């Protein structure tokens, strides 16, 4: 599923008169939950928030040029247009730098998103909401037209369901808002979310959009006609968002593959691999590898490149690579610990769409990569320092002939490795 793209204009940000913002990741407990009017975020707000959280600076020159070039022409053409433009650029850049220094990470922002209001669900304990906003919002980077940011919420589950004591209470709630009180769908509505920025990953070349995390601090639901339905309370807090910014990236939800972990000793990894993939070959540990037609036939490949090549070039899977599963791992030295793990499996009868849904249930929402793969990025749960990031990559391709039985299914490659960060982005 594609992300919702939030269409907002690049608008100038006015200097905050309340004084400079606190240092990166900091929050004043005295005013952390003070009432501040939320506003709709602009592309510039997203850009400023990202760089404030990462401790970097945006390209003020590019922003100033966009600001000056976007102004309507003057009623009277200046005597020296180039000199006038240089003067305006200096003023614009000065103003932008002041706005950036004053940007307050504790200030809430507000989004309005369409939502389907469903019927009462006893298992969920209320009336569920369905909205693309739960998957994230994609926003353009005002200094880079080729990429953008993905705004993701840390706590979307807190507002996925309107609580109701039972079907009668839910029916009354829906009826009062002018919605259908029976059936699986009550009607369309609007979800209003107030949020605070809660963290960001570094700019990575492989990502289409760079993830930015947000903490939902308040939310309400209205019917499509504007009649109030529910206001969520005790959702999240600005204090929690500030703590998340200090802590760094949240840990990767699942940081092992087939029982193997990064930094596991090689001898231990070999023993673990043999438990489920009992046939070691030169390229990895296999479960039901095919019998080679010739003695000098190369070993089957155990690499995500196998999947990538088939997907990119539309190649059939070679009979020699038609195994059930394989596991391979590498270390930075012969005596070192595991630094990268790859697990390739053929799943008979599975479709890529169903397989992706299973992966999302296990690992959470993935990031889209420029090469067609998907990835999950997060802190290493085995380390106290959450700046040490891990990456889980997935690539898959549907086949008509695969696996030991040479039947239809999907070939899946998962790779877990430590993420190498660009220089200067480790903080």
Query: 205 and 273: one domain?
Result: no
Query: What does the pLDDT look like over 194-253, one tens digit per residue?
Result: 999 999 988 888 888 999 999 999 999 999 999 999 999 889 999 999 999 998 888 899
Query: 32 and 155: one domain?
Result: yes
Give a yes or no: residue 242 inside a domain: yes
Give a yes or no: residue 120 inside a domain: yes
* C-alpha distance from residue 120 to each of 114, 125, 128, 172, 176 (Å): 19, 8, 7, 11, 15
Query: 192 and 317: one domain?
Result: no
SS3 helix, strand, coil % of the chain, rounded to 5? 25, 35, 45
Q: How far apart are CA 333 and CA 265, in angstroms?
A: 11
- Domain holding 281, by residue range, is 266-418
pLDDT given for residue 78 in this prediction: 84
Query: 194 and 300: one domain?
Result: no
Query: 272 and 238: one domain?
Result: no
User: How many domains would you assign to the chain?
Assistant: 2
Kindly give the residue spans of alpha helices, DSSP state H, lying in 379-419.
Answer: none
Query: Can you tell me the mean pLDDT for 380-401?
Result: 86
Give a yes or no: residue 261 inside a domain: no
Query: 213 and 79: one domain?
Result: yes
**356 vs 201, more confident:** 356
pLDDT given for residue 387 in this prediction: 67
Among 185, 214, 247, identify where a domain stops: 247
Contact criterion met (CB below 8 Å) for 145 and 158: no
Among 217, 247, 277, identify where a domain stops: 247
Strand-by-strand arrangement of the 338-348 sheet: 279-281, 284-287, 325-331, 338-348, 407-418, 389-402, 374-379, 367-368
Q: How far apart are CA 25 and CA 245, in angstroms?
A: 5
Query: 119 and 183: one domain?
Result: yes
Query: What does the pLDDT look like over 35-78, one tens digit per residue?
Result: 678 899 999 999 999 999 999 999 999 999 999 999 888 888 88
Q: Which residue in 55, 18, 38, 77 sits closest to 220, CA to CA? A: 38
Query: 187 and 271: one domain?
Result: no
Residue 423 has pLDDT above 80, yes or no: no
Q: Taking all residues of the chain, what is their mean pLDDT, rounded to a whole number?
A: 87
């Amino acid at each position: 599923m594609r992300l919702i793209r939030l269409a907002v204009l690049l608008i100038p940000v006015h200097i905050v008169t309340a004084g400079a913002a606190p240092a990166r990741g900091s929050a004043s407990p005295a005013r952390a939950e003070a009432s501040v009017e939320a506003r709709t975020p602009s592309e510039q707000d997203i850009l400023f928030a990202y760089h404030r959280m990462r401790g970097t600076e945006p390209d003020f020159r590019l922003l100033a040029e966009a600001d000056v070039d976007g102004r309507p022409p003057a009623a009277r053409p200046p005597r020296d247009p180039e000199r006038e433009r240089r003067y305006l650029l200096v003023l614009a850049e000065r103003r932008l730098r002041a706005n950036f220094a004053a940007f307050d990470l504790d200030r809430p922002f507000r989004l309005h998103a369409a939502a389907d209001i469903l019927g009462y669900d006893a298992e969920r304990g209320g009336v569920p909401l369905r909205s693309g906003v739960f998957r994230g919002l994609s926003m353009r980077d005002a200094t880079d037209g080729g990429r953008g940011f993905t705004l993701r919420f840390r706590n979307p589950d807190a507002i996925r369901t309107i609580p109701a004591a039972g079907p009668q209470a839910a029916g009354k709630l829906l009826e009062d808002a002018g919605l259908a009180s029976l059936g699986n769908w009550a009607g369309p509505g609007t979800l209003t979310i107030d949020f605070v920025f809660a963290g960001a990953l570094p700019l990575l070349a492989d990502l289409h959009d760079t993830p930015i995390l947000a903490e939902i601090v308040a939310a309400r639901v209205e019917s499509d006609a504007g009649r109030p339905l529910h206001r969520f309370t005790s959702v999240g807090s600005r204090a929690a968002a500030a703590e998340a910014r200090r802590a760094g990236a949240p840990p990767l939800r699942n940081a092992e593959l087939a029982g193997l972990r990064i930094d596991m000793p090689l001898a231990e990894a070999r023993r673990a691999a043999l438990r489920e993939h009992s046939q070691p070959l030169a390229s990895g540990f296999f479960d039901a590898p095919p019998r080679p037609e010739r003695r000098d036939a190369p070993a089957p490949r155990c690499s995500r490149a196998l999947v990538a090549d088939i997907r990119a070039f539309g190649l059939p899977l070679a009979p020699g690579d038609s195994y059930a599963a394989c596991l391979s791992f590498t270390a930075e030295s012969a005596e070192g610990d595991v630094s990268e793990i790859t697990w390739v499996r053929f799943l008979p009868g599975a479709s890529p769409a169903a397989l992706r849904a299973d992966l999302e249930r296990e690992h959470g929402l993935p990031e889209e990569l420029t090469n067609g793969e998907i990835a999950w990025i997060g802190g290493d749960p085995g380390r106290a320092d959450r700046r040490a990031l891990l990456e889980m990559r997935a690539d898959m391709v549907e086949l008509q002939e695969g696996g030991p039985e040479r039947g239809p299914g999907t070939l899946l490659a998962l790779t877990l490795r430590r993420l190498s960060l660009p220089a200067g982005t480790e903080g």
